[in-house]
Chain A
């Protein structure tokens, strides 16, 4: 027996991948050519597995703001928001987020993980109850485990099952936090938030929604699924990230509850870490403004999502339940998923390989995501790479190339 015994399953998979000469996890991006193109593991590819939904990572205005911030404020804050790490720009970004979401209060975190994990671990505690969607992100599961609350999960996107769970709680509903996501990261399916909000109105509890994958994509102002489904007033806490549609790194929580200002002083992932670097805050502030000024980015994103989704469907792949900027192809056989991931790379498309337990269910996923920065021609190139896989007459499909 040793401490390392529990890592044997991981070691076994790594050995297996080494043996076949494919390492999909931690593929190295050697050079970025644009928001949508790079050299990955030696192959020039179209990036179809990032979360760069609005394609803002190389936006000149964002880059200029980040450069200026570095020159004026240095490369890092070197301290916690609670100590020396709150610069005027952190406060400005919090105000801008609150204004954008029409909420009174806002907290900026150093990562999206710190935001979701921090809120999930802090809002509920001993004696409280958390009811969360079964397919919630790992950061939410980590948070609820740390909270000390009783954790109950409900079937994914099933408002009826949520209702049963809330009914069973009786008076404990007063101490209950409900957690769901807007768009789910693996399959790109969106929550039936109007139904979930209706259940919450009927039974009670507080509702937290993680809009990490829906910020900038849905709703008249891009505020996410809550805006799209007209239930923003029912959502007590919205959390999200700067590392996807805003092209940087960091996280946030917005709320109308004045108690958020007290909660801030209790969130360990906010207190015991350095605050976001000045350049990150600067580019995020510009990106948040551009997100509002350029609704056409949203339109382009959905056109690309539709083009990829319907294209993959026509090719006969088993795609996610609905059109979304995340389009996942489900593959039953894990080894085939690994081989296909590698074939796609060789044919010029980088996608994410997701295997159980990271994928929902027993199957593996080739998870694609689109960007507003993709051209229709690039989407077609991604489809061409998939077409090679699907055609059994082509030697590339069998893995013999």
Chain B
């Protein structure tokens, strides 16, 4: 079972192609407001993570995910 830090690393890896190189990713980075992801990009990001971890992320939890930390915590609950 991956630990929190491992989730953060995995998310950073999957997220990197979606954000400008000069932007530094932190646990507090907000996916939409700060990193500028569109809703379509968020869904694509989630799909990559789902494939990576062999899980399905329910749409129901997405409204509560704003930051990379929120996403990592949600993934911990799902695995």
B3 interface hit (Cβ, 8 Å): no
**Do the beta carbons of B58 and A362 come within 8 Å of each other?**
no
25 cross-chain CB contacts under 8 A: A134-B43, A150-B58, A150-B60, A151-B58, A151-B59, A151-B60, A152-B56, A152-B57, A152-B58, A152-B59, A153-B59, A155-B47, A164-B54, A164-B56, A165-B56, A168-B54, A168-B55, A168-B56, A169-B56, A356-B40, A357-B39, A357-B40, A361-B40, A362-B38, A362-B40
Give the docked Cα–Cα distance between A169 and B59 (Å).
Answer: 15
Interface residues of A in 339-374 (CB under 8 A from B): 356-357, 361-362
Residue of B nearest to A168 (CB): B56
Provide the residues of chain A in CB contact with B57, threshold 8 Å: 152
Give the docked Cα–Cα distance between A150 and B58 (Å).
Answer: 6
B57 → chain A closest CB, angstroms: 8
Provide the residues of chain A in CB contact with B56, threshold 8 Å: 152, 164-165, 168-169
Give the docked Cα–Cα distance between A168 and B70 (Å).
Answer: 23
> What 4 pairs across the A-B complex have the smallest Cβ distances?
A151-B59, A152-B56, A150-B58, A165-B56
Give the docked Cα–Cα distance between A155 and B40 (Å).
Answer: 12
Provide the residues of chain A in CB contact with B43, threshold 8 Å: 134, 153
Give the docked Cα–Cα distance between A150 and B77 (Å).
Answer: 15
Residues of A within 8 A of B (CB): 134, 150-153, 155, 164-165, 168-169, 356-357, 361-362
Give the docked Cα–Cα distance between A118 and B38 (Å).
Answer: 29
B61 → chain A closest CB, angstroms: 9
Provide the residues of chain A in CB contact with B60, threshold 8 Å: 150-151
Residue of B nearest to A141 (CB): B59
B12 → chain A closest CB, angstroms: 23
B interface bracket (residues with beta carbon within 8 Å of A)? 10 to 19
- Residues 37-63 of B, flagged 1 when their CB comes within 8 A of A and 0 if not, give 011100100010000001111111000
Residue of A nearest to B55 (CB): A168
Residue of A nearest to B61 (CB): A150
Question: What would 17 more interface pairs be, CB under 8 Å, given A152-B58, A153-B43?
Answer: A150-B58, A150-B60, A151-B58, A151-B59, A151-B60, A152-B57, A152-B59, A155-B47, A168-B54, A168-B55, A168-B56, A356-B40, A357-B39, A357-B40, A361-B40, A362-B38, A362-B40
B75 → chain A closest CB, angstroms: 14
Give the docked Cα–Cα distance between A165 and B55 (Å).
Answer: 8
Interface residues of B in 4-58 (CB under 8 A from A): 38-40, 43, 47, 54-58
Residue of B nearest to A129 (CB): B58
Provide the residues of chain B in CB contact with A150, threshold 8 Å: 58, 60
A374 → chain B closest CB, angstroms: 34
Residue of A nearest to B57 (CB): A152
Residue of A nearest to B59 (CB): A151
Residue of B nearest to A165 (CB): B56
B42 → chain A closest CB, angstroms: 12
B44 → chain A closest CB, angstroms: 10
Residue of A nearest to B54 (CB): A168
Residue of B nearest to A148 (CB): B60
A164 → chain B closest CB, angstroms: 8
Residue of B nearest to A149 (CB): B60
Give the docked Cα–Cα distance between A177 and B39 (Å).
Answer: 25
Provide the residues of chain B in CB contact with A151, threshold 8 Å: 58-60
A166 → chain B closest CB, angstroms: 9
Provide the residues of chain B in CB contact with A362, threshold 8 Å: 38, 40
Which of A134, A152, A165, A169 has most chain B Cβ within 10 Å? A152
Give the docked Cα–Cα distance between A153 and B60 (Å).
Answer: 11
A153 → chain B closest CB, angstroms: 6
Give the docked Cα–Cα distance between A361 and B39 (Å).
Answer: 10
